[in-house]
Amino acid sequence: MKTRVLFAAAALVLSGAAHAQFQKPEDAVRYRQSAFAVMGNHFSRIGAMVQGKAPFDAKVAQENAAIVLMMSKLPWAGFTPETERIKSRAKPELWAEMDKVRAGADKMMKAVADLEATTRTGNLDAIKKSFGETAATCKACHDAYRE
Amino acid sequence: MKTRVLFAAAALVLSGAAHAQFQKPEDAVRYRQSAFAVMGNHFSRIGAMVQGKAPFDAKVAQENAAIVLMMSKLPWAGFTPETERIKSRAKPELWAEMDKVRAGADKMMKAVADLEATTRTGNLDAIKKSFGETAATCKACHDAYRE
């Protein structure tokens, strides 16, 4: 419980004062899933470029990275203790290992911030590298904590 | 059909080059619903302040408005012609009146941009007025086109 309270407090700091408020636990789940969905879509758009499936356009990459950056700060506020009982793809381990989840979230947000900065250089090789590093931070938590 | 193609083209312009791409129509529906959900949550946070249900904090209002502003540009790309057959709360009228939907979306985005600018002044009365005007643009389309 103490860990969860700490995580909730951390989520407030993470997402700044613009953190979300929820009337019901279901709203918190929907919110975090929505933020992840928007983030994933725009991250994939950068992915298509670094994988050569879409033409590289530095401006497009930067615009998508800006959306990913904003979204990366949001979902954490939706992992409130009350949402543990709501059915989602979150594994039981997520609630039991909040310190690790928190560290993973920090790592992801840092990687995304680096990716966004890298897209502003317009250097495709650097973007590829940064994209891969970011994708690894997504995968680490998905593998450990998502069904 | 012509209207729909025009709307799809407009969506590209609306959301800039950072528009979303979708593998399946279901993904487009999920994307637009997610963008609306994140937007609605942060818009409500400003609402709580203008309605006196949360203490007014100009910085918090501005942070939330920045998220609303970014989200306001995104959902339109998810109203692709292929999604008409996917079950959602979109009424049949939405697909039949795309010109009006497009005009409503423009109006909403303009109101949101005004709201975001207003939050940067820190003037609560002005924010209240701008919030009300923005909420009216949300309601207009929800009343007409959402179950």
pLDDT tens across the length of chain A (147 residues): 444 544 554 444 444 445 558 999 999 999 999 999 999 999 999 999 999 999 999 999 999 999 999 999 999 999 999 999 999 999 999 999 999 999 999 999 999 999 999 999 999 999 999 999 999 999 999 999 999
Q: H-type helices in chain B, by residue range? A: 2-14, 25-50, 58-72, 92-96, 98-119, 124-145
pTM: 0.88
Residue B2 has a pLDDT of: 46
Work out the minimum CA distance from A63 to partner chain B, whole angstroms: 5
Q: Which residue(s) pair with B146 in the sheet?
A: B90
Tokens of A31: 């919110």
The amino acid sitting at B8 is: A
Residues of B within 8 A of A30 (CB-CB) are 37
Q: What is the pLDDT of residue B20?
A: 56
| Beta carbon pairs, A and B, within 8 Å | 75
Separation between Cα atoms, residue B81 and residue A98, nearest integer Å: 42
Beta bridge partners of A90: A146
In which region does residue B27 sit, left (phi positive, over 0), alpha (psi from -120 to 50) or beta (all else)? Answer: alpha
Q: Which pLDDT belongs to residue B21?
A: 81
Instruction: Return the amino acid letter for B120.
Output: R
Closest CA of chain A from B18, distance in Å: 5
Burial class (CB in 10 A: 0-12, 13-18, 19+), A10: middle
Q: What's the CATH code, domain B2-145?
A: 1.20.120.10
pLDDT at A15: 44
State residue B8 phi and psi, 5-degree precision: -60, -40
Instruction: Give the C-alpha separation, A17 to A13, whole Å.
Output: 7
Residues of A with CB under 8 A from a CB of B: 16-18, 20-22, 27, 30-31, 33-35, 37-38, 41-42, 44-45, 48, 54, 57, 59-60, 63-64, 66-67, 70-71, 74
Q: Hey, what amino acid is at B146?
A: R
Q: What's the pLDDT score for residue A92? A: 96
Whether A52 and A61 have beta carbons less than 8 Å apart is answered as no
Give the 3-state secondary structure of residue A90: strand
pLDDT tens, position by position, for chain B (147 residues)?
444 544 554 444 444 445 558 999 999 999 999 999 999 999 999 999 999 999 999 999 999 999 999 999 999 999 999 999 999 999 999 999 999 999 999 999 999 999 999 999 999 999 999 999 999 999 999 999 999
Put simply, the answer to whether B31 touches A45 (Cβ < 8 Å) is no
- Closest-CA residue in chain B for A22? B41
Are the C-beta atoms of residues A14 and A74 closer than 8 Å to each other? no
Which residue type occupies A112? V
CA distance B83 to B95: 10
CA distance B54 to chain A (A): 11
Partner residue facing A38 (CB), from B38, B44, B63: B38
Q: Do A64 and B18 touch (CB under 8 A)?
A: yes
Tokens 């991250």 belong to A43
User: DSSP assignment, residue B90?
Assistant: B
